[in-house]
Amino acid sequence: MRFRLSWGFSLFQIVNYTFLISLSLLCVLPLVHILAVSFSGSGAASAGLVTLWPVHVTGKSYSFILSNEKFMKAMFISLERVALGTAISMLLILVTAFPLSKEPASLKFRSGYAWFFVMSILFSGGLIPWYMTIKYLGLIDTIWALVLPGAVPVFSVILLLNFFRGLPKELEESAFMDGAGYWVILWRIYAPLSLPALATVGLFTIVGHWNSWFDGIILMNSPDHYPLASFLQKVIVGVNMDLLSSQDLQVLSNVSDRTARAAQIFVGALPILAVYPFLQRFFMKGLVLGSVKE
């Protein structure tokens, strides 16, 4: 009997590890292929000769991207957008989710407030009213047009709201007995204990701002104000010759569309890949275990 259980457990481990390794390869190998294409010569890339290793290694695709002053300006705009957007969104998410996590007895019309936010997920005013509202507020062609319209992501509010509800109520009750108010409880108790949820919500916000390109094209009148995703979509993918200098055109003549797109993917992904390891350590369970003593 023991032999059968041990054999079955061993078989489960083999199947489990095989599945996880295969799944990991399916995620990693396409990225390795794109990296190889980005460092390959234009002829080899266009002919489809690149697999998992660069052919005729060259960095001309990256030279084309990094030597463009407008590209660097677009990157700084994206970094500014991410910094402002994440800070504002995290503040608004916290102060919105905290009261909505209370019971109706503690917050009058709590259900009505909650449905007010949920309705914004179910229904939208449409693209034209959205644009006209931003225009009449005088935000067009400014960094605030990229930050303020989506400053309160309701899905993130719901995630943090549900996390708050899972925290022990005894923590809040003991804080009230010590004379603490709601602001002190939010910043001294709830926020520190919610680091895993805040890290998850923050990562969603950062990725959303960094990858968003459509709003930059719609809301920015000048290409000089494009964030990086919009710039890459307009210049690299579309290759808008009006936005390229003679030096850029000379470099572009030795770069294929495929290698430029591959380089675009990695340049756009590097900041997120750099941020993720710092947030990953907060993805853990049991943070509040032992917080309440009997």
Please spell the DSSP secondary structure of 62-115, one letter per residue: HHHHHT-HHHHHHHHHHHHHHHHHHHHHHHHHHHHHHHHTS-TTTSTTHHHHHH
Alpha carbon distance 14, 36 (integer Å): 31
Place of tokens 């290793």: 53
pLDDT band per the 50, 70, 90 thresholds, residue 91: very high
> Who wins on pLDDT, 42 or 85?
85
For residue 232, give the 3-state DSSP assignment. helix
Asked if the model's pLDDT at residue 271 lies above 90, the reply is no
One-character DSSP codes across 212-228: --HHHHHH-SSGGG--H
Cα–Cα nearest to 176, from 223, 104, 106, 245? 106
Architecture of the structural domain at 69-243: Orthogonal Bundle (1.10)
The single-letter code of the amino acid at 238 is: G
**What is the residue extent of each domain of the chain?**
2-59, 69-243
pTM: 0.77
Per the document, the length of the chain is 294
Q: Would you say 217 and 234 are in contact if contact means Cβ atoms under 8 Å apart?
A: yes
The mean predicted confidence, pLDDT, of the chain is: 81
pLDDT of residue 122: 83
pLDDT band per the 50, 70, 90 thresholds, residue 96: very high
Give the pLDDT mean for 173-181.
85
Asked if the model's pLDDT at residue 3 lies above 60, the reply is no
pLDDT of residue 85: 94
pLDDT of residue 285: 45
Give the pLDDT mean for 78-107.
90
pLDDT band per the 50, 70, 90 thresholds, residue 257: low
DSSP state of 241: G
- CA–chain centroid gap for 143, Å, is 18
Find all residues with CB under 8 Å of 109, minimum gap 6, and list them. none
The single-letter code of the amino acid at 119 is: M
Residue 131: C-alpha distances to residues 106, 152, 213, 290 (Å) = 38, 17, 15, 50
DSSP state of 244: -
Per residue in 129-165, is it b (16+ CB within 10 Å) or e — as a string?
Answer: eebeebeeeebbeebbbbbbbebbbbebbbbbbebbe
pLDDT of residue 237: 58
DSSP state of 234: I
**Per-residue tokens: 59:** 């960095």
pLDDT band per the 50, 70, 90 thresholds, residue 67: confident
Give the pLDDT mean for 93-111.
86
**Per-residue tokens: 68:** 């463009």
Give the pLDDT mean for 273-282.
72
**E-strand stretches of the chain:** none
